[in-house]
Amino acid sequence: MNWIGRSLPRLEDPTLLKGGGSYVADRIGKAAAVRFVRSPVARGRILDIEIPSGAIVFTGKDLSDVKPIRSILHRPDYVAIGQPVLPVDRVVFSGQAVAVVVADDPALAEDIADQVFVDIDAVDAVIEVDLALIPGAEVVHPEAPSNVLVEGRMKTSGLDQAFADAAEIITLDLRSHRQSAAPMEGRAGLATYNTATGRVTLTASVQMPHMLRTGIADMLGIAESDLRVIAPDVGGGFGQKMSLFPEYIVLVWLARKLKRDVAWIEDRRENFLASAHGRDQAFTVRGAFSREGKLLGLDANLRSNVGAFSCYPVTCGVEPLMALAELPGPYDFSEYGALSRGVATNTCMMAPYRGVSRPMLTFTMERMMEVAAKRLGLDSIDIRRRNLIDAFPHRSPTGLVYDQGSYRQAMELALETIDLPAFRARQAAMRKQGRYLGQGLSVFSERTGYGTPAYAARGMEIVPGYEIVDCTMDPSGNVELRIGSSPHGQGLKTSLAQLVSDELGIEPDRIRVISGDTDATPYGWGTFASRSMVIAGGASKLAAGKIAVKLKTIAAHLMEADPESVTLKNGWAHISNSNKAMEIGALARAAYHQSYRFAGMSPGLHENAVYDPGGTFSNACHIAIVEVDVETGGVTIERFLVAEDAGVLINPMIVDGQIAGGVAQGIANALFEEVIYDETGNLLTASFADYLIPTSAEIPEIEIVHMETVSPESVTKAKGVGEGGAIGAPAAVINAIVDALSPFGVEIFELPATPQRIRDHLRRAGVSTHG
Amino acid sequence: MASKLSISLTVNGQTYGVLVEPRRTLADVLRDDCHLTGTHIGCEHGICGACTVLVDDKPVRSCLMFGVQAEGKAIRTVEGLADGETLHPLQRAFIEHDALQCGFCTPGQIMSAVALLSEGRAGSADEIREFMNGNLCRCGAYGNIVAAIAAVASPPDGR
């Protein structure tokens, strides 16, 4: 055990730093350029598409043999919607691709696309989630006349009694506006056609290469073996690149149709218009509290705007069903009722985005605790102490089983680290100078690394969850680890190499991790949902463990010792209590070249393993300290602290990078980022000039302290950590703003708290400003 | 198709003679004509900074400059930083401080940082944060990027 727990520099870095990264756009060579013509309106009937003469342009009519994307949930309350790769008769959101242009270079393709005239009879669109639910609202899809595509309900038997017994009932209306994952590299695909075999290779900037192959093969009606999907270096995804988009199906269709290589590199405007959004949610929640501040029951009406289509493969149930199942979060109460709906609108579709629903769920519960404390005259920390889960395994009112965690302890550690009494003194002193500082806290659970049972419970037609890993030690003692996971910036290759190093007793640089190629890796589900370290890590450890057993058996045989007495370390197999040792490379060579000597053992060192865990909950407490400028409504974050419990840290440096990165996106959610449509469905925020991603000037140093609760639910003892930062930060920042503005009695229930919104609150509270 | 112009530019010390359409950006010319794909295009409207290169030692967003404007200029890109296998101090510092995740914005970050250091404006972490705010990093590695640049600006051992 000597590599796990080290902040090993990432094996991925040197190449990326020299400009040697290989992203899709770096690979297109002489491929023809593809440009999509997109609907300028949100809703309407396609009357005509005029194509300039001589141009290579295809429309939905040309692709009539391609099946629509149809993402399925087996639930009576789910309405499956077909998404045509290119629509023939009607458009349902602004930016929907309606035609595709192929030309010799991208500029020319763009010129031609501008000359394609799309005649659409535009009609009124429905954009806002609560407007879409009003009876008589415009209908996005005739199959769903109420606009509800999925609806989950539950109610425990004692909920009504809990409200009858309550000393205080808190009702909150909360709103999270729409966000985009906005990876620095947009979507991109290169489809190359092999004229000898007719096989197409799609190199694409995606998180789920195997799923993409399945989806495209299904829609085109071809065998999966006729398609290879490669995910090369991927410039961030954060969930946005895990769905099957029509553009990729069109690319493969074009390569087959034209028998030539074609490439599409999305521009930033397209990414905002037509990739995927998330977080557009409106919740109404009632909490029943006892006089002592114990949460007795919770009743919730949860609406998620899922846009115009249902993302494949996880469906538009991903936000609403996550909301239904996980609203209770880190709090221990038994009575719960909820109605959670996914509502169609004429907007870009919702797809998973780092955190999926949980930023809003955490925002909801943490605002609830703050308001309840105020209403009951309790300390806001004390009320959490009285409600946080403290016994394990814990069964939530929705039936989720939480493994060992440290909900209370992480909060106490965070409070201790931040030194709350000292802050309160400073806050009081600053207020006398007219400066408004505030401290805000959030506690949350992050469900990570869940296998097939969790997805099957949602009724998914396609049930992800497990990972298969192939591990081969070659005759020189070096290892190839082939994974179905598909990292895109998480440093997973380094972390997995560390895990496998400890299993096999060799240095990490002798381990090559191969991912993102359907020809070279076992079928897997890619990287999303904070799953790869837990699941691909678990399968890697198990597969390498099988090779370790063989190495030890060989060593014992060759050195005439008991296999139990063999340890693998620093490139050598040692026999304990002796001076006997052999190099692991020599054992590996023997496994291949002297296999006849090892009776009962298969030749070579090639093993695989599957891991399909039930899931494990990470937990954390975030504390933000902010200053609000009451003149401008601007917020400065002075300090941001994370007390994280993600189990055993395989590479602490990488873990901290994941946490800090998530916090940056969570701060963005709290203060800056908002995808805005006008009432006709025209996107107003289609550039980085309008959609404000935070920069180095807005994101403070993120302080991180760790706890390490070891869970039996993860074979590596690691828990997932990819999303927590984004989940906890919005609530902590808003609670801090509310604390800063407590002299004015401002309460905030809407994300993001932009300067304009904060100024509106202050104005309503009677705080004047100049001008 | 628009007519092409013949231009000559020096990139990382090497002279390139290329035939380009006037409307193509410097980023396009570097990537497509000089085959230096380390310069990445993130937004094409001058905000994300991923395409930052040095033009006569000044940081420039290569998506906002036409290729033909680079006629006779000396360009430096991320490919020109390492000396063979020996990494530039900033490249080493980015590894040590975990200042990158997906790596897409990284070439632009590093080129901006090279300019920042040569202009002598990396006096404090706050100054670095302010100066570097023209380079977006969606993975949110800002703290580590600042730390990496600060370490090169004022090495702890006084090198």
DSSP labels, A105-133: SHHHHHHHHHH-EEEEEE-----SHHHHT
- Chain A residue nearest residue B38, CA to CA: A19
Per-residue b or e along A236-248, where b marks 16 or more CB atoms closer than 10 Å to that residue's CB: bbbbbbbbbbbbb
Distance separating alpha carbons of residues A616 and A404, to the nearest angstrom? 8
Find the residue in A nearest to B82 (Cα): A18
Report d(CA A504, CA A709) in Å as an integer.
25
Q: How many residues does chain A have?
A: 771
Strand pairing partners for B6? B19
A434 confidence band (pLDDT: 50, 70, 90): very high
Residue A770 confidence class, pLDDT cut points 50, 70, 90: low
Q: Nearest CA of chain A to the CA of B8: how many Å?
A: 22
Contact B42 A20 (CB under 8 A): no
Query: B100 contacts in A (CB within 8 Å)?
Result: 13, 16-17
The predicted pLDDT at position B155 comes to 74
Tokens encoding A331: 């709090």
pLDDT by residue (tens digit) across A507-544? 999 999 999 999 999 999 999 999 999 999 999 999 99
Chain B nearest-CA residue for A651: B98
The residue written with tokens 């250091």 in the block is B117
CA A432 – CA A430 distance, rounded (Å): 5
Question: Which of B81, B87, B105 minimises the CB distance to A184?
Answer: B105
Q: State how far the alpha carbon of A401 is from the alpha carbons of A532, A621, A639, in Å.
A: 21, 20, 34
> What pLDDT does A202 receive?
98
Q: What is the DSSP letter of A404?
A: S
Six token digits for residue B18: 């290329």
Tell me how close the Cα of A20 comes to any Cα of chain B, in angstroms. 6
Q: What was the pLDDT predicted at A711?
A: 87
The pLDDT, as a whole number, for residue A458 is 87
Chain B residues closer than 8 Å to A693 by CB: 136, 138
Q: Which two tokens stand for residue B115?
A: 């300019």
**Collapsed DSSP state (helix, strand, coil) of residue A664:** helix
SS3 letters for B131-155? Answer: HHHHCCCCCCCHHHHHHHHHHHHCC
CB contact under 8 A, B128 and A235: no
pLDDT at residue A746 greater than cutoff 70: yes
Residues of chain B contacting A9 with CB distance shorter than 8 Å: 95-96, 98
Q: Which residues of B touch A7 (CB under 8 A)?
A: 98
Cβ–Cβ of B44/A267 closer than 8 Å?
Answer: yes
- Tell me which of B44, B87, B104 to substitute to probe the interface with A (most A C-beta atoms closer than 10 Å): B104
Question: In whole angstroms, how large is the CA radius of gyration of chain B?
Answer: 16
Beta bridge partners of A514: A482
pLDDT in tens, A381-395: 999 999 999 999 999
Q: Which residues of B touch A14 (CB under 8 A)?
A: 87, 91, 95
List CB contacts (< 8 A) between A109 and chain B.
none
Q: Tell me, what DSSP letter sits at residue A13?
A: H
DSSP code, position B66: B
Testing the interface with B: which of A696, A698, A702 to mutate, by most B Cβ within 10 A?
A: A696
Q: Would you say the C-alpha torsion B136, B141, B146, B148 has a positive or negative sign?
A: negative
Which residue of A17, A26, A184 is in closest CB contact with B138? A184
List CB contacts (< 8 A) between A657 and chain B: 98, 101, 139, 141, 144
Q: What is the pLDDT of residue B1?
A: 52
* CB within 8 Å: A489 and B139: yes
Residues of chain B in contact with residue A532, where contact means CB-CB under 8 angstroms, are none
Alpha carbon of A77 to those of A122, A150, A339: distances in Å?
Answer: 30, 5, 12
Instruction: Report the Cα B101 to chain-centroid distance in Å.
Output: 17
Q: Which residues of chain A are within 8 Å of residue B124 when distances are taken between CB atoms?
A: none
pTM (2 decimals)? 0.97
Q: Average pLDDT over chain A, rounded to whole?
A: 97
Checking if the pLDDT of A1 tops 60, the result is no
Largest CA distance in chain B: 57
> Six-digit token pair at A83?
């998404």
> Nearest CA to CA, how far is A695 from chain B (Å)?
5
* Beta-carbon-side half-sphere exposure of residue A276 (alpha carbons within 13 Å): 30
* Percent residues over pLDDT 70 in chain A: 99
String of DSSP letters for A58-73: EETTTTTTSPPEE--B
Residue B156: what pLDDT?
A: 67
Tell me how crowded residue A29 is: count the other CB atoms within 10 A of its CB: 10
Smallest Cβ–Cβ distance between B102 and the set A25, A489, A697 belongs to A489
Chain B CB contacts of A700 below 8 Å: 143
Tokens 């139990």 sit on residue? A564
pLDDT at B159: 46
* Half-sphere exposure at residue A518, Cβ-oriented, CA atoms within 13 angstroms: 23
User: CA B133: distance to chain centroid?
Assistant: 14
* Secondary structure of residue A371 in the 3-state scheme: helix
* Strand pairing report for A335-344 and A295-307: parallel
Cα gap A662→B139, rounded to integer Å: 8
Cα–Cα dist A321/A302, whole Å? 10
Q: What is the pLDDT of residues B58-106, one digit of tens each?
A: 999 999 999 999 999 999 999 999 998 899 999 999 999 999 999 999 9
User: How far A651 CA sits from the closest chain B CA (Å)?
Assistant: 11
**Cross-chain residue pair A19–B44, CB shorter than 8 Å:** no
What's at A412, amino acid-wise? Answer: E
By C-alpha distance, the chain B residue nearest A689 is: B47
A103: Cβ–Cβ under 8 A, 6 or more apart, which residues? A32, A33, A35, A55, A56, A109, A111, A112
CB B105 within 8 A of CB B42: yes
Please tell me the distance in Å from A188's CA to the nearest CA on chain B: 12
pLDDT on residue A768: 75
Q: How far is A193 from chain B (nearest CA, A)?
A: 21
B21–chain A nearest CA distance, Å: 10
CB-based contact B149:B117 (threshold 8 Å): yes
The one-letter amino acid at A595: S
* Local structure of residue A64 (DSSP, 8 states): T
- Residue A730: enclosing H or E segment and its boundaries? helix A724-740
Rounded distance between C-alpha atoms, residue A155 and residue A173, angstroms: 20
- Name every residue whose Cβ is closer than 8 Å to that of residue A330 and which is 6 or more positions away in sequence: A365, A388, A389, A405, A407, A443, A444, A445, A619
**CA–CA separation, A555 and A626 (whole Å):** 60
C-alpha span between A19 and B80 (Å, rounded): 9
Which residue, B53, B28, B6, B63, is CA-closest to A28? B28
Residues 6+ apart with CB under 8 A from A255: A191, A192, A193, A200, A202, A261, A262
Q: Which residues of B touch A12 (CB under 8 A)?
A: 103
Nearest chain B CA: its distance from A664 CA (Å):
5
Nearest to B150 by CA among B136, B142, A473: B142
Please choose, from the candidates A618, A627, A629, A622, the residue with its C-alpha nearest in 3D space to the C-alpha of residue A713.
A618
The CB density around residue B63, as the number of other CB atoms within 10 Å, is 23
Task: List, in sequence order, the alpha helices (H) in A59-120.
Answer: 106-115
Number of Cβ pairs < 8 A linking chain A and chain B: 170
Can you tell me the distance from the alpha carbon of A378 to that of A480, in angstroms, rounded to the nearest whole number? 57
CA distance linking residue A651 with residue B135, whole number of Å: 27
Residue A274 predicted with pLDDT over 60: yes
Specify the DSSP class assigned to residue B105.
S
DSSP labels, A292-336: T--EEEEEEEEEEEEETS--TTT-TTHHHHHHHHHTTTTB---EE
Residue tagged 């756009």 (tokens): A25
Handedness of CA A85, A91, A95, A97 (dihedral sign): positive
Report whether B112 contacts B132 (CB < 8 A): yes
Task: Check B138 against A182: CB less than 8 A apart.
Answer: yes
Q: Per the CB < 8 Å rule, is A657 touching B144?
A: yes
A69: left (phi over 0), alpha (psi -120 to 50) or beta: beta
Residue A175 CA to chain centroid, in angstroms?
A: 20
Of B31, B104, B135, Cβ closest to residue A185? B104
Closest listed residue to residue A273, CA positions, set A608, A571, A735, A684: A684
The whole-angstrom distance between A721's CA and the closest CA on chain B is 14
For residue B137, what are the contacts with CB-CB under 8 A and spacing of at least 6? A184, A696, B105, B109, B145
Q: Are B61 and B25 in contact (CB under 8 A)?
A: no
On whether the CB atoms of residues A47 and A119 are closer than 8 A, the answer is yes
How far apart are alpha carbons A162 and B45 in whole angstroms? 55
CA distances from A175 to A383, A440, B6, B68 (A): 24, 19, 56, 49
Residues A334-354, mean pLDDT to the nearest whole number: 98
